[in-house]
Amino acid sequence: MPFNIIRNDIVNMKVDVIVNAANPELKNGGGVSGRIFEAAGAQAMTKACDALGGCEFGKAVITPGFNLPAKAVIHAVGPVWRGGSQGEEELLRGAYRSSLELAKHNGFESIAFPLISSGNFGFPYESAFAIALDEINRFLLEEDLDVTLVVFDNTATAMARFRNKDLLTYINDHYVDEHLDRNRPNYIRDRPESLDVAFSAIPKPRKLSSDSAAKIDFPEEITFSDALLAYVDAKGMTDPEVYKRSNIDRKHFSKIRSDKYYSPKKTTVLALAIGLKLNLRESMDLLARAGYAFSPCDKRDVIVKYFIERGEFDIMKVNGALFDFDQKLLGY
């Protein structure tokens, strides 16, 4: 998966490079830094860091990984929170950008980040999380790299659930906690009646203008793969735009494109609905062609539907919300 968020200890990550939330002196500290130094071998890591002579706020430097599973450690120096008026946001963004560029420059294919500055440096969790997602997303829209954001515990994320009151209210209003029939093998049985119009026999899809793209319909006999490619064309997007905006691996997308009868997982279809900026009707159509539907008994479905109804198609924001509510992320 190009991007993922997990709860783990970053020293256990089997990736090419992990990121240390470092201090400017690159000294062994508490929290993430202390665990990384200990796992790498404190003496060897201290010697390597001392040789670098420190690092500026908003920048990053690199050392070997020593005893860690990762080949290397990028030491990123995020800002200390001083109320938000001292350039903290740009410095934090710089720490992420510098780390990602270092990973690219050194030819690494995978990287794991902690939530920089959110611990001892006091950066508010919600803002630190949003900045991390935004900077990683900006990079991944241009580059290919597997990126994982590693959150050590669930205290901050549990608090974050209640900060987006609008989303929380939407979930409370739309989520059905008890599934009345858990054994139904195919969500297409629950296809909303509004899809009857979308499935009516109409002319074969053609490339539409941006003004009319939202009104596209497809004959029911068109497969999921056919409909997907027609949506890509109708929205005026390139394949790279779609799979990057959907958090889907390029090889996976190529497989979907080449197999007319490809049967996707629901998480893939939901990701593509976000990546293609499909409205609710179009999203329901694409889901149904893969044998699924939005279910009020699936909290992830409810959250994704919330963003689609509001025309918010940032896959990172969607996945950030899903993570906060302990739901499986979108993409592959």
State the Cα–Cα distance between residues 294 and 282, nearest whole angstrom: 12
Contact call for residues 79 and 91 (beta carbons, < 8 A): yes
Burial class (CB in 10 A: 0-12, 13-18, 19+), 155: exposed
SS3 143: coil
Q: Which two tokens stand for residue 306?
A: 């919330």
Beta bridge partners of 150: 6
Beta bridge partners of 38: none
Q: Which two tokens stand for residue 150?
A: 């590693």
Q: Which two tokens stand for residue 133?
A: 């997602």
Q: What is the pTM of this model?
A: 0.83
State the Cα–Cα distance between residues 327 and 264, nearest whole angstrom: 19
SS3 210: coil
> CB count, 10 Å around CB of 246?
25
Q: Which two tokens stand for residue 293?
A: 């539907």
Contact call for residues 225 and 257 (beta carbons, < 8 A): yes
Give all domains of the chain, ordered by start, each with its CATH number: 3-160 (3.40.220.10), 165-324 (no CATH)
- Per-residue pLDDT tens, the chain, 332 aa: give them: 699 999 999 999 999 999 999 999 999 988 899 999 999 999 999 999 999 999 999 999 999 999 999 999 999 999 999 999 999 999 999 999 999 999 999 999 999 999 999 988 999 988 999 999 999 999 999 999 999 999 876 655 555 555 678 898 999 999 987 544 444 444 343 444 333 333 343 334 444 334 434 445 555 578 899 999 999 999 999 999 999 999 999 999 999 999 989 999 999 999 999 999 999 999 999 999 999 999 999 999 999 999 999 999 999 999 999 998 889 999 97
